[in-house]
Structure 1
Amino acid sequence: MTFLAPDHRIMNQPNRITNKDFEGWVQERGLYFPEKWNDNFTPILGMNDAGEPMTKGSLLVGKYGDGHIVYTGLSLFRELPAGVSGVYKLLANMLSLSIEKEPIKQQDEERKF
């Protein structure tokens, strides 16, 4: 696994994704990786088997309005039931991609302890 955009939010928040998160993946890692895409998309991961060319379309992220579009050909349907912890971390990052973190604000005096 090659991280093409290691500083991208999807690789770091709320979970930092590392190569260790791809250990233990079962069967194929993914299918249907596009070979080209619009310039609005950022390729996040590159992958290849030994002696094979790298594919860069397994995880693509693009901004759309206030949110994001995420395309993945990764076989999450195989990894989730197998209990691979890295896939849960990556999925959480995908789902929270457009959530902006805000500081916790004190609502009123009664909430102070």
Structure 2
Amino acid sequence: PNKITPTDFQGWEEERGHGFMQKWDPHYQALIETHDPDQDPQSGGLLLARYGSGFYVYDAFALYRQLPSGVPGAYRILANLVSINKNPEWK
């Protein structure tokens, strides 16, 4: 439900995440390209693939650090993840 933009990454605690994939199976789709300051863009931080009648999501973003700090962008990403089956693009 939320379009994620660079402003959603403002105010994040420490780094945005870790364990970003460098390459992945073609069944996966990269959902976001982003980077920390002074880094090259990375698109392996949030990957989505269909699995059976649902989805498999790989999330390398440090939501565990951002959510307790009340970072709005982290909540927007989380809302998108928990409602992924409601997204008309994935029906």
Per the normalisation by structure 2, the TM-score is 0.83
Write the mapping of 1:15-34 to structure 2, written as runs, cut at 5 A: 15-34=2-21
CA distance in 1 between counterparts of 2:87 and 2:7 reads 27
Q: Give the alignment partner of residue 40 of structure 1, picking from 27, 31, 43.
A: 27
Q: Give the alignment partner of residue 78 of structure 1, picking from 65, 83, 86.
A: 65
RMSD between superposed Cα atoms in Å: 1.7
Q: Give the alignment partner of residue 96 of structure 1, picking from 67, 75, 83.
A: 83
Q: Give the alignment partner of residue 55 of structure 2, picking from 68, 87, 92.
A: 68
Q: Give the alignment partner of residue 41 of structure 2, picking from 47, 51, 54.
A: 54
Residues 82 and 69 of structure 1: is their aligned pair in 2 closer, same or farther, counting only changes over 3 Å?
Answer: same
For residues 29-79 of structure 1, give each alpha carbon's deviation from its aligned partner in whole angstroms, at most 9, with x where no partner exists.
1001111111010111223332x3322211101111221111011000110
Q: Which secondary structure does the structure 2 equivalent of 1:21 belong to?
A: helix
Percent of residue pairs bearing the same amino acid type: 38
Q: Which runs of 5+ in 1 are unaligned?
A: 1-12, 102-113
CA contact (8 A) 1:42 1:62 kept: yes
Task: Report how many residues are paired.
Answer: 87
Per the normalisation by structure 1, the TM-score is 0.69
Q: Which runs of 4+ in 1 moved over 4 A?
A: none
Name the amino acid aligned to 2:10.
Answer: E
Q: Which runs of 5+ in 2 are unaligned?
A: none
